[in-house]
Amino acid sequence: MLKKKKKENMDTPENINDVNQDNITDDTQEQAQQTETIEAEPVAGPTAEDKLKDELAQANDKYLRLYAEFDNFRRRTQKERVEARETEGKELIVALLPVLDDFERAQRSMEKATDIAPIKEGVTLIQNKLKNILTQKGLKEMESIGTPFDADLQEAITNIPAPTDDLKGKVIDEMEKGYTLKDRVIRFAKVIVGA
């Protein structure tokens, strides 16, 4: 019976309020102590997460700047290439303009000339001037006649019987001269080979 009375006493509303108030005051005191300890701790600097975010932002900024710089470089070089292609023959054309002027003068003098010898001499001078300019720019004539046939430098048009045995397999005649520009073949020589 004693147990029942104790239980009844505990279940009364007054006892329940007392227990709840004790629990509430204990909880409030604990929270106050925690708040005091939190406030008492010094505030630390940026956390590791903040540092990583800053490093990521810096890396992204650096990447964007590098990408933009590379893109500008690519555009600039592309523009320079286009300009170079448009004007790559300019130097040669400027060098050939005096030859063009000489041909015009020769044509005017042919209309009035009665003697052909000075005209031939003038045309020969113009041809020599043209050859000199092209030689200065790196153009060279290939020597083909009398040399053994070379398919890398020459194009055989036909074979004819060789007049002598030592000309067999060699170039007998040249229909068109071959040219190299700075040691690269730009036109193959068209030749007749002895058989």
Q: What CA–CA distance (Å, rounded) separates 67 from 78?
A: 16
What's the DSSP call for residue 182? T
Mean of pLDDT values over 93-118: 85
Least confident of 43-52, 90-99, 103-112: 43-52
Cα 154 to Cα 30, 171, 184, 191, distances in angstroms: 104, 9, 13, 7
Mean of pLDDT values over 2-9: 51
Collapsing DSSP to helix, strand or coil, 154 comes out as strand
Mean of pLDDT values over 174-190: 88
0.85 cut: is pTM over it?
no
Nearest to 195 by CA among 179, 172, 176, 178: 172
Residue 22 carries which side chain, given as an amino acid letter?
D
Look-up of token digits 């009375």: 5
pLDDT at position 43 over 70: no
pLDDT at position 114 over 70: yes
Q: What local confidence, expressed as pLDDT, does residue 113 receive?
A: 78
Q: What local confidence, expressed as pLDDT, does residue 46 receive?
A: 73
Residue 149 banded pLDDT, cuts 50, 70, 90: confident
CA angle 44, 46, 47 (to 5 degrees): 90
Mean of pLDDT values over 40-68: 84
Residue with the bigger pLDDT between 11 and 165: it is 165
Q: What local confidence, expressed as pLDDT, does residue 31 receive?
A: 56
Q: What local confidence, expressed as pLDDT, does residue 68 receive?
A: 95
Mean of pLDDT values over 52-57: 93
Q: What CA–CA distance (Å, rounded) separates 34 from 178?
A: 99
Q: What local confidence, expressed as pLDDT, does residue 16 receive?
A: 47
Question: What is the chain's mean pLDDT, rounded?
Answer: 79
Residue with the bigger pLDDT between 21 and 86: it is 86
Domains of the chain: 62-137 (3.90.20.20), 140-195 (2.30.22.10)
Mean of pLDDT values over 77-106: 86
Q: What local confidence, expressed as pLDDT, does residue 66 receive?
A: 94
Residue with the bigger pLDDT between 4 and 152: it is 152
